[in-house]
């Protein structure tokens, strides 16, 4: 599989092509070193790949409102296949099942719902965090040995990844500005990836790196596609925390806000850890 040198690294990472031109439900992609994590590709780009597979379908109805990704096992370096099936289509929404495989091995499973959005009463109870503007904060250093982190410009406000001298924390809250590096216009794929840029909350609470990995993530898309496209190459504000740790797992919730104070998406994860 080849991609143009002109593609942004994110677009190259989520590029897909049909396995058989006569069957759009089977697609082929490949991992890229730019978004490699410790033992596989960054989970945010994997989620974006699966969403892209849905949105490439000629019979897709509406736009994404929710995506659940279950990381069954690591994706190895190299090519993979994604199969997509619309299991039910209603007047206003459509339900999808997605599977990512390498050879005979299932790596990831997912479900998605797309829907036709209509004009309705609108309100927001969530409150955007009060933070300084992105330009007033110095960019955070990259995490050593984690390639995908260099693909994001992060400007940390609170809850940065702990150093050896920080010790344990009473709070798992982290808040930071983020945008693609190099800058890229915001769209549903970049927001999908940004929901997973929050590092595991157990690191912050325990004050050290621990074996940890996302088992499942559900993303809710609160902004429609035109609203995302109007944001240009601006920063997003990501904030999130956990609610309970224990018996090998913890939850992790994140919010992605626009620089104009609009809630774009939320994500809810279950994360495996050892401590």
Element (H, E) at 229: helix 225-229
Cα-based distances in Å from 19 to 25, 45, 197: 9, 20, 30
**pLDDT classification of 103: cutoffs 50, 70, 90:** very high
Residue with tokens 């969403």: 51
Burial class (CB in 10 A: 0-12, 13-18, 19+), 272: middle
Question: What's the pTM?
Answer: 0.96
Please give the backbone phi and psi of residue 245, each rounded to the nearest 5 degrees, phi first: -120, 145
What is the separation, in whole angstroms, between the first and last Cα of the chain?
Answer: 40
121-146 average pLDDT score: 95
Whether cis (ω within 30° of 0) applies to the bond prior to 182 is yes
Q: Report the C-alpha gap between 128 and 100 in whole angstroms.
A: 35
Domains and CATH numbers, the chain: 1-116 (2.40.160.210), 133-275 (2.40.160.210)
Please, what is the average pLDDT of the chain? 96
DSSP 135: G
Query: Nearest-5° angle of CA 133, CA 193, CA 120?
Result: 75
pLDDT, average across residues 42-53: 98
Q: What is the pLDDT of residue 5?
A: 58
Taking the C-alpha atoms of residue 236 and residue 222, their distance in angstroms, rounded to an integer, is 14
């Amino acid at each position: 599989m080849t991609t143009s040198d002109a593609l942004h690294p994110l677009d190259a990472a989520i590029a897909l092509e049909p396995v058989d031109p006569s069957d759009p439900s089977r697609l082929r992609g490949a991992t890229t070193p730019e978004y490699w994590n410790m033992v596989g590709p960054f989970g945010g780009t994997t989620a974006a790949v699966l969403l892209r597979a849905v949105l490439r379908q000629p019979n897709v109805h509406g736009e994404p409102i929710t995506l659940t990704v279950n990381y069954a096992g690591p994706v190895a370096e190299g090519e993979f296949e994604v199969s997509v099936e619309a299991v039910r289509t209603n007047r206003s929404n459509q339900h999808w099942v997605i599977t990512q495989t390498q050879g005979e091995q299932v790596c990831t499973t997912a479900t998605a719902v797309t829907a036709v959005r209509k004009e309705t009463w609108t309100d927001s109870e969530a409150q955007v965090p009060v933070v300084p503007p992105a330009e007033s904060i110095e960019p955070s250093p990259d995490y050593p040995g984690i390639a995908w982190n260099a693909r994001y410009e992060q400007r940390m406000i609170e809850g940065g990844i702990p150093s050896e001298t920080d010790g344990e924390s009473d709070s798992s809250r982290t808040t930071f500005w983020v945008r693609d590096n190099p800058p890229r216009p915001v769209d549903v794929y970049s927001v999908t990836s940004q929901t997973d840029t929050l590092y595991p909350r157990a690191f912050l609470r325990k004050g050290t790196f621990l074996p940890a990995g996302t088992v499942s993530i559900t993303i809710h898309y609160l902004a429609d596609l035109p609203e995302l496209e109007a944001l240009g190459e601006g920063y997003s504000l990501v904030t999130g925390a956990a609610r309970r740790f224990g018996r090998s797992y913890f939850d992790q919730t994140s919010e992605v806000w626009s620089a104009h104070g609009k809630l774009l998406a939320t994500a809810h994860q279950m994360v495996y850890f050892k401590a």
